[in-house]
Structure 1
Amino acid sequence: MRTRLAVLPALALVTAQLLVPTTGASADPGVSVTVNARAGLETVGDTAVGANHAIWDTTLGTPEVADLMKGAGVQALRYPGGSYSDIYHWRDHTAPGGYVAPNTDFDHFMAGAQRAGAKPIVTANYGTGTPQEAADWVRYANVEKHYGVKYWEIGNEIYGNGHYGSSWEADNHPEKTPAEYATLVKQYAEAMKAVDPTIRIGAVLTTPGDWPDGITASGDAGSWNQVVLSIAGPVVDFGILHWYPTGSTGPESLSKTDRVADFVRLAREQAARYAHKDLPLSLTEVNTSYGMNTQPGALFAADAYATLLENGVFTVDWWNVHNGPTSFSTVAGQPDYADFGLLSSAQCLADGTTCEPPLNTPFAPYHALTMTSRFAGPGDQFVHASASDPLVKVHATRKRDGGLAVLLLNQDPDAAKTVALDYAGFTPAAGAQVLSYTNGATAITTTTGVSGSATLPPYSLTTLVLRPKTSTALPATPSRPTASAVTDREATISWTPTAAGVKYEVHRQVGTTTQQWGETTGSSFTVHNLTPGTRYTVNVVARDSAGRVSWSSPPVAFTTATPATSTCAVAFADTNDWGNGYVGSVDITNTGTTPVDTWTLAFDWPTTWQQVSSGWSGTWTQTGTTVQGASNSDNRVIAPGATTSTGFVGAYQGPNVPPTSFRLNGTLCTTR
């Protein structure tokens, strides 16, 4: 949680000529953009675009701020604000040790949230509170006042209570272990749901790849997530992640969204492994470290929200509505105050002369949230999109009304980008509505354009809103399929039938393209000849007798196993993790009938930010993402049935995704 404090005119949508490069900016020769409407991703919910609201913000709940939140399309507001949540007592509106602004109590917050049309997300006090205090809050909110608060978090960043050596979060419990937190979360959930069984309870998790994820403290049975999910996972309804990626330049900070898919997937896999359920995930705090009030912050916000939502996170909440300045710099020609707020707090720095703009002036990320909410509304489905230029980020949604929206982010601060768009599974009409937010602008502008091409100004956000060339009734969309009977070579894909007389096409996503595996009139399909140790993402579409094709189902992802039988087997384990590195233990077993004399073990890292830094009982090298360990004179011979142990020290700067398959002298081994 980032703290400080802190408050303007509603967003204007202006009609203007745009998509014209700024004076002196050179357009690049052309960027190819592909949008595949048959490669369906996740569907947008009704809390997708959110923000944090804090009790030290003197403008919390005011009509002016509420109207700005509504103008940006903010659908969720989180209260009472980060680490203050663990010292805040709602009934007497106090936070011992912290500042509480006047008129920021729960009722004032709810008045603002209701005026904004935003759903509340409330963090109950774990650090200095009790289950009974939280249950009384639920009773007041939902029984006495009928506010209908659905989402309740238990504590803020409780792993910051000193248990792992760093302490910023209040926690008065004698034990500060993940086991103690998880045990009490169960008590909170029981007490709160006894008042209103319809509420949803969230537990604090660590974000994979971020400290202290993966660390096992002395005396604990495992890492924070392992322990919390094992104990509290069965009774909670969602997991809570926070994400503050680092970066001191635009390229560094903007590149960090490539971590999202992996950390979301790892968190889900942890929930499946330890809580034995598919646990919905929220990301209730996010911000960037560079250009917080200027165009890098806007580009990061739009890309982060879209990437998180298309990977199934149900709410993304910016930190914060107001926060206050911390330093001054000029970023991309614009004044930046290193203020985590969406809106100016009109405060001055310590020099007394460097001051923010008037109260409630929107900063650039505010406009990015506005763009995101217009591009991806409740009920819209994300579909796969990509660009040939790494400086152009693309996201696309299939709209509830049958249209399509394409969000194009030009991350080049100096050059315009000309893009040519190609569509699969959707035929757009020639024209397009164009929304654009450019560097230094004070509003989103709207104009008309074409569906097949656009010119993106430097450092800009552009959305094309498209209509279908022809509008016809389509078959019903199949539900999310499931994958079962997964082996190293086969998997059965199943779904719920939508109607009689339709055929179902089964498609694999391969980047922006899709491969049709087959079709059937039934409700399942078994695919053969898969590659062992490989992750697959699959969609189903329905096609009626007239050839009309439905929207894509949401995806199912699965990973094929390694061979059940092989002449080798490998057991890999992370035996000691310290947050950005770990000790990797590797046991190689000869399961064949002849000795192995001199060996090389090879595997591929799933990401570009993982590496081997050193090793033992072998010579370890890395080229690109491929790692090889070679035998030494002491362990070069592995007799049939024998095992040799080796290992390495690994390093990572993002989610630490374990390798899935290993090859011994070129032979794919069984992974144990």
Structure 2
Amino acid sequence: MSSPWRTAASIVLLAAVVTAPTGARAGAAEKDTRVDIDIRAGLAAVGDVAIGVNHAIWDSQLGTPAVSGLLKDAGVTMVRYPGGSYADIYHWRDHTAPGGYVAPNTDFDTFMAGARATGAEPMIIANYGTGTAQEAADWVRYANITKGYDATYWTIGNENYGNGHYGSNWEADEHADKSPKEYAAHVVAYSQAMKAVDPSIKVGAVLTMPGNWPDAIVGPGDQGSWNQEVLSRAGSAIDFVDVHWYPGGATPAEALTKPAQITDAVHLLRRQIDRYAGANAARIGISMTETNVDVGRNTQPGALYLADVYSGLLAQGVFTVHWWNVHNGLGTVSTIAGQTDYGDYGLLSSGNCNADNSVCQPPLNTPFAPYHALSLIGSFAQPGDRFVAAGTDDPLVSAHAVRKADGDVAVLLINKDPDAAHTVSLAHHGYTPSAGTPTVATFTNGADAVTTARTGSGTEQTLAPYSITLVTLDTAATAAAPPAPAQPSATVTDRTATISWPSAGANLKYEVYRQNGGAAELLGETTGTSLTARNLDPGRRYTINVVARDGAGRISPPSPPLTFTTATPGGSSCTVEFRNTNDWGNGYVGQIDITNNGPAVSGWTLAFTWPTGWQSLNSGWNATWTESARTVRVTSDTALASGATTGAGFVGSYSGPNVPPSVFTLNGTVCTSV
């Protein structure tokens, strides 16, 4: 967390605000919900450092046995230090942070002792704002050579785009040049100096999450956005990128819609890395080292958000996700869904009061609701598990699933309805759960612990209002199943994709599945090691898996997922170029240039569809612009000669990752997009 007003060092007089529960059908009757789970549709595997949290040097409880024990019990596998924006004023050698508060017993060795007691790997932030590459290299030497801590992950700075270059200024930065170009140059220098000490470390650079400020903004004197500049100039020197995500939301209901943006946001970030980071960009991982909500931080909205966001990000291949923060202190007090919310970004109570002692938190280290959600995630997504596709037909119920290393399937169900229970029908694809009553762990609104019982069945569960439910399903083990096929690849056109993969063994049949919510669609099967899928939609993103089946019908685990986007037709009678010419973080000026490659037309209509539901049209010019739901039509009575080009512009808005439209039709014909 970056802004000074978000730290525990500043405590303000609080006014209690009562907020009514929002977002669901008040008094709604139970509504049956269908959840599909398909183990043939594999997503990302869970790594050794997936479940993370932030520690801060102004937290007097950093590294204490009580806190380390609570984090260990929750399944935390990575802890970040020395704490958000403090990282850019912190000097590790003398344990000082000029301009900030440093609590006693929070030095690096104390942090490492706590990390080891937790059983977690460290994520260390090297000081970019007021530090040097040499200081960072000396820290690596002390950590890994002198002390033998084997600290692998090191990030260069924290939210350094907040240094004033784009206007907002909360991050310390003593460099005269505050551009992404300058930051990238120092990232290279830091990486070289640090890896000269210990070549085994991994170095990360700070980027911004697509859809969050200042994504897509081009600063004065820059050649591209922050992400483009940093990746283009420092991509060869880094091993991962580090992003934060505070998607906001004025109400609990709005905040709980934000996890739906994860798939598109991670896709856009991955595409930026692949496009700008140079050769071998696929090696660069993604870490999410800060996230939280603006409403209901300590109560059930924060818990529901945490469960949804950790699961969604890990499923999309983010290798570690961190909550901000372990402790943070009292904020603005409100009432959310009948529970007192202290506006505290922490997982655990700081035990403090406001200035006149009229409002006090629970005793020190009392777990808040998000802590219990984190403990469920720690049980749900363990190293060696693989996320598999899960989908639901109710926007107030989220579903995630993993296949355990032993073949069992765990399903995480999140009921975001504060008023109504939901009866969920579980539909299983590619496996059959064992008969009997499954083990179910549940965290409900206002509870002070997770409860575990055997209840419901493998095909039906009832979800309490505002609850998180973890269902663990025993499955019949398949002896000697074929191994999972290795990573597939694809060659695509506008309508086809030829998918290839290495052989997984002799006498096998392969099945290729397209992910489609929680029920995968069979694209085809073959005894060879390639398959051409036909009749695909132009400009559409597809994610597929390959599974192998032997002669006895035993099915392998799925291959790693492959995501590709089909092209638009070459040689079409029209060509469209779409450009974002000026972006300000939640809106932009778009330019569309249309070339008629066919016979002259006396008038024309261009149509396209917004890729997401959080994009919209504000205004347009040089034609008549209309919008219906997500479809935009641009109409002109002006003739367009053969070979002629015309243009039209618009102002668009977005409140999430701004996925550009890529498929345009002119008078009903799909155009070539360039």
TM-score range relative to shorter protein: over 0.9
Deviations 1:440-466 (Å, cap 9, x if unpaired)?
111111100221111111111111101
The CA deviation at 1:533 is 1.4
For 1:380, the equivalent position in structure 2 comes to 385
Write out the 4+ residue segments of structure 1 that deviate beyond 6 Å after TM superposition. none
> Which of 228, 235, 242 is the equivalent residue of 2:237?
235
Distance in 2 between the 1:525 and 1:406 partners?
Answer: 31
Query: In the alignment, is residue 472 of structure 1 matched against residue 502 of structure 2?
Result: no
Report Cα offsets for 1:386-430 as digits up to 9, x if no partner: 222211111111111110001111111111111111100111012
Q: Deviations over 1:340-365 (max 9, x none)?
A: 00000001122322000000000000
Gap runs ≥5 in structure 2:
10-25
Structure 1 counterpart of 2:511 = 505
> What is the distance in 2 between the residues matched to 1:207 and 1:387?
26
Equivalent pairs, count: 650
Contact 1:25 1:416 in 2 (8 A): no
Contact kept? 1:383, 1:398, Cα under 8 Å:
yes
For residues 531 and 425 of structure 2, the distance between their equivalents in structure 1, rounded to whole angstroms, comes to 36
Q: Which amino acid aligns with 1:4?
A: T
1:514 is matched with which residue? 520
The match for 1:337 among 336, 342, 351 is 342
Aligned counterpart for 2:462 among listed residues 455, 462, 469: 455
- Match in the other structure for 1:106: 108
Whether contact under 8 Å (2:392, 2:518) holds in the other structure is: no
Q: 2:635 is matched with which residue: 588, 610, 630?
A: 630
Partner SS, residue 42 of structure 1: strand
- Confirm or deny: 8 A CA contact 2:478 2:554 kept in the other structure: no
Q: Deviations over 1:184-236 (max 9, x none)?
A: 10001111111111111111101111111110011100110111110011221
> What is the CA-CA distance between 1:489 and the residue it aligns to?
2.3
Q: What is aligned with 2:582?
A: 576
* 1:280 to 2:298 alignment: no
What RMSD, in angstroms, separates the aligned Cα atoms of the two structures? 1.3
1:557 — aligned with what?
563
TM-score, normalization by structure 2:
0.95
Q: Which amino acid letter does the alignment assign opposite residue 477 of structure 1? A: A
Q: Output the CA distance in 1 between the equivalents of 2:327 and 2:446.
A: 20
- Structure 1: gaps spanning 5 or more residues: 7-23
Question: Shift of the alpha carbon at 1:4?
Answer: 2.1
Query: For residues 387 and 515 of structure 1, do their structure 2 counterparts lie closer, same or farther at Cα, with a shift above 3 Å needed?
Result: closer
SS at match of 2:520: strand
Aligned counterpart, 2:14: none
2:303 is the counterpart of 1:298: yes
- 1:272 alignment partner, SS class: helix
State the SS of the aligned residue for 1:183: helix
What's 2:395 paired with? 390
Question: Judging changes above 3 Å, is the alpha-carbon distance between structure 1 residues 192 and 545 closer, same or farther for their aligned structure 2 residues?
Answer: same
Q: 1:432 and 1:27, CA in 2 relative to 1: closer, same or farther beyond 3 A?
A: farther
Whether contact under 8 Å (2:391, 2:519) holds in the other structure is no
Distance 1:526 1:668 in 2: 22
How far apart are residue 107 of structure 1 and its match?
0.4
1:211 alignment partner in structure 2: 213
User: 2:333 corresponds to which residue?
Assistant: 328
Q: Partner letter of residue 87 of structure 2?
A: S
1:239-250 superposed matches below 5 A:
239-250=241-252
Give the Cα separation in 2 of the matches to 1:372 and 1:205.
26
Retained in 1: the 8 A contact 2:407–2:477?
no
How far, CA to CA, are the matches of 1:351 and 1:646 in structure 2?
A: 60
- Partners in 1 of 2:461 and 2:401 — Cα distance? 15
| Structure 1 counterpart of 2:7 | 4
Query: Is residue 596–residue 645 contact of structure 2 (8 Å, CA) maintained in 1?
Result: yes
Residues 1:443 and 2:446 aligned together: no
Residue 660 of structure 1 deviates from its aligned partner by 1.1
| Residue aligning to 2:488 | 481
Give 2:273's aligned residue. Answer: 271
Find the partner of 1:544 among 541, 545, 550: 550
Q: CA–CA distance in 1 between the matches of 2:486 and 2:573? A: 41
Percent identical residues: 60
Q: TM-score, normalised by structure 1?
A: 0.95
Asked if 1:534 corresponds to 2:557, the answer is: no
Secondary structure, aligned partner of 2:515: strand
Aligned equivalents of 2:513 and 2:35: distance in 1?
Answer: 21
Judge conservation of contact 1:229–1:275 (CA < 8 Å) in 2. Answer: yes
Deviation of 1:39 after TM superposition, in Å, equals 1.3
Amino acid at match of 2:628: T
8 A Cα contact 1:27 1:418, kept in partner? no
Is 1:369 paired with 2:371? no
Match status 1:41 vs 2:51 = no
The Cα shift of 1:27 comes to 5.7
* Aligned mates of 2:461, 2:648 — CA distance in 1: 54
Tell me the distance in 1 between the aligned counterparts of 2:396 and 2:549: 37
Measured against aligned partners, the alpha-carbon deviations of 1:511-561 in whole angstroms (never above 9, x if no partner) come to 222222222333322333322212111100011111100111221111111
Q: Which moved more, 1:276-285 or 1:661-670?
A: 276-285
